[in-house]
Chains A and B, each alone.
Chain A
Amino acid sequence: MNRQIIIIILLLFPFFLSAQEEEKNSGQLHGNFETIVQTYRVDTIIGIDSADVPREKALSNSYMNLTYTKGKFSAGIRYEVYMNTLEGFDKRYDGHGIANRYASYTSDELEITAGNFYEQFGNGLILRTYEEKTLGIDNSLDGIKLKYKPVKGIKLTGIIGKQRLYWTLGPGIVRGLDGEISFNETFKKLAKSKTHFLLGGSFVSKYQKNLNPKYNYPENVGAFAGRINLSRGGFIISSEYAYKINDPSADNSIIYGYPIFKDGNALFVNASWSKKGIGFLFTALRLDNMSFRSDRSASVNDLSINYLPAITKTHTYAFPAMYPFATQTNGQVGFNADFFYTFKRKTLLGGKYGTNININFSQVNSIKTEKITINPDAEIKNLDGYTSDFFAVGDELYFRDINIELHKKINKKFKISLIYMYQDYNKLIMQGKDSILHADIGVFDLTYKISSKQSIRFATQALLTDKTQSGEKNDFGDWYTGMVEYTYSPHWFVAISDQYNTGGHTNPVSAHYYNFAAGFVKGANRIQIGYGRQREGIVCAGGVCRFVPAASGFNFTLTGSF
């Protein structure tokens, strides 16, 4: 802990220096902060008994970032306080302290960072450290990062470090190299070419000591990836292929392949064409055994080195987002297609202001596998892996989503949005229970502008599930919701809503989830208070999810940036 004090003093040093030079206008100190407080109470109607209420009655997650910049030098710290951690987040966060600190030097050619850093190679298939506060994810590396740009358009990155695991570091060392060349920037002849061409490659390796006397786990596990990005006119094609060498882990149940532990691979393709008023997108992702963590026994959201994006559409309304897709890192093959179009003004469908539509379709299946036998030894025979045909699609459906969105400004006062969504969701794969759930979802959203500063918004949504074999409604059954929100620009908002659940197979009790919220915004600061019931559910961002238990009580959020 003495180390932390020294670090703070070092971090403060430039501040004191700059304080003396205030008149020269040299350094800048900026930051942000957030406090979330939630109180908990017994609410048996939504299944919260006294045993479910945390003993603290109120829990809170908070942090503050401070960044000091002076010319090419910058340094920052983040102080985090979890007293105690909010329900639904990992309780290993309980406590407080300096969770993040770094210093860096950046010039046009060179960037050096020491301390905690975030970095992504290519699309992140073999390396991405990032922070997602809503999920409680912070897998930052603590170590050294170097970036070097020897000539225009060429960028080389090297990293080494250990990953954050709540208040400690994971056991593995992560090392990586990445190179990228943008041909149009590097070669003058291509500077004016209409075709833009980018190539990149990366290598990442983790080291973790093998302490298992029974299995000869590889202590060094490497992964490499190559990527390409091509654009011309309205076309953009970007693709990355990644390969990971023998990586036994808790995720893949220490699976064998050939010649020893199973390798992994991933192919990610994004292709789009668009011009003013119209856009097409096609995305595909195939994964086989691609979980990659700096501790082979880690699970859930801990110590992921790479990022495997969910390619399905991220929905923002509550009901379309109720059964979200989570990336299946052990194996999946999926694709997503989108069509964006604006019906022009003064046409039949466009009306006076034009109409926007988005049609989206995505489907994810298992990969096709065939079991192999390598080990005659009965004891480890069950670890035998499989072979998989790269171009075949497995029979098991994981997720399917067909949706259409329509947005239209009717006149100066009214705007509407309409969404219909057809969804199939494999609960067994995603949540480990039951089987496929089908849902039909509708959203209607209307904004009415009362005056130049005041507006009122009504949103109603419905989610209807199919019936199980026993004749009950699937999972929690049907949901209906209504919401009214009043805003007074630029400072105030008040919202009131109720979600009504009919109950179903998982929980036959019907319930109202009412909520009230009010807030005030000024500049970059925002304060919000709320009271109500939070339904049990899954919160996701980018294919990574966390489970949130039902809660009832007051909540308070304060965010600010300076």
Chain B
Amino acid sequence: MKKTIILISINLMFFGAILSQENFNKLPSVDVKTLSGKTLNTSKISNDGPIFLSFWATWCKPCIRELIAIDENYIDWQEETGLKVYAVSIDDTKSTGRVAPFVNGRAWEFEVLLDANSDFKRAMNVINVPHSFILNKNGEVVWQHTSYSPGDEDEIYEVIKKVAAGEDINH
């Protein structure tokens, strides 16, 4: 009986989740840190144009490949769409110190955030990195993707262009 109730409850919630998928989605309110140590609440993340938000770590090869691919195009994409990239590092205390010299050593110009105890990652239901999101200028999440294969950046940019133009994303 007990198990049945639990299972039914979970099914209900799952069903609710499917229903509620249409009206996504502001970013949750979680504190993360900037490289200089300041606290930033994620609900305050905003931009006049689209935002590409990517969860990564210094020890994650596909994450780095994805960010390199974005970096190679960043100047052009910024000019064309007003894009802003947030690279959220989930490196814990073991390697949070590596993030600043790593990012600067690579000459990346992304907004880098530190999520040392994965609070933001958990709130965004991210399981594995890389996991990236695209937000429109209202701060609503309109697209998400996990993992990275070479060429994914083309799809990412198609979505970013649509978002910049105010089109609907049917993913």
Contact = CB atoms under 8 A, between A and B. Distances in A.
Whether A associates with B in a native complex is yes
Contacts of B97: 236, 238, 270, 272, 281, 283
Contact of B94 (A64, A153, A274, A314): A314
Contacts of A68: 13
B170 to A, nearest CB: 11
Given A66-B10, A274-B101, A452-B151, A32 B125 contact: yes
Interface string B26-41: 0011010001111100
B34 to A, nearest CB: 9
Given A276-B107, A523-B144, A489 B150 contact: yes
Interface in B89-129: 92-98, 100-107, 116-119, 122-123, 125-128
Given A27-B20, A29-B13, A281-B101, A490 B149 contact: yes
Given A12-B13, A279-B100, A281-B101, A198 B150 contact: no
Contact of A338 (B10, B101, B128): B101
B146 A124 contact: no
Q: How large is the interface on B (under 10, 10 to 19, 20 to 34, 35 or more residues)?
A: 35 or more
Contact of B150 (A155, A449, A521, A562): A449
A277 interface: yes
A67 interface: yes
Nearest to A344: B107
A487 B150 contact: yes
B36 A231 contact: yes
Contact of A64 (B10, B92, B103, B152): B10
Name the residue among B105, B127, B144 with the largest chain A CB count within 10 angstroms: B105
Contact of A309 (B12, B94, B101, B127): B94
A280 to B, nearest CB: 6
A189 interface: no
A130 B117 contact: yes
B9 interface: yes
B167 to A, nearest CB: 18
A12 B12 contact: yes
B171 A523 contact: yes
Contacts of A358: 102, 105
Contact of B104 (A69, A98, A234, A488): A234
A490 B13 contact: no
Contacts of A455: 149-151
Contacts of A93: none
Contact of B105 (A8, A270, A340): A340
B121 to A, nearest CB: 10
Given A28-B24, A278-B104, A524-B145, A196 B150 contact: no
B81 to A, nearest CB: 19
Interface in B36-64: 36-39, 58-61
B92 A562 contact: no
Given A30-B17, A559-B146, A310 B94 contact: yes
Interface stretch (A115-123, A215-223, A460-468, A548-556): A115-123
Interface in A312-365: 314-316, 338, 340-342, 356, 358
B36 A66 contact: no
B10 A447 contact: no
A505 interface: no
B127 A561 contact: yes
A198 B100 CA distance: 17
B138 interface: no
A120 B118 CA distance: 10
B101 A314 contact: no
B25 interface: yes
A359 B21 CA distance: 46
A535 interface: no
B104 A277 contact: yes
A184 interface: yes
A307 B127 contact: no
Contacts of B38: 182, 184-185, 196
A128 interface: yes
Contacts of A315: 59
Nearest to B28: A69
A311 B105 CA distance: 19
A1 B29 CA distance: 32
Contacts of A502: none
A465 to B, nearest CB: 24
Interface in B115-171: 116-119, 122-123, 125-128, 131, 143-147, 149-152, 154-155, 171
29 contacts: A5-B5, A8-B5, A8-B9, A9-B9, A25-B23, A30-B125, A32-B127, A79-B6, A118-B117, A128-B117, A130-B117, A131-B118, A231-B35, A238-B97, A270-B96, A272-B101, A274-B104, A279-B100, A281-B101, A309-B94, A309-B95, A487-B149, A489-B149, A490-B155, A493-B149, A524-B125, A524-B146, A526-B146, A542-B92
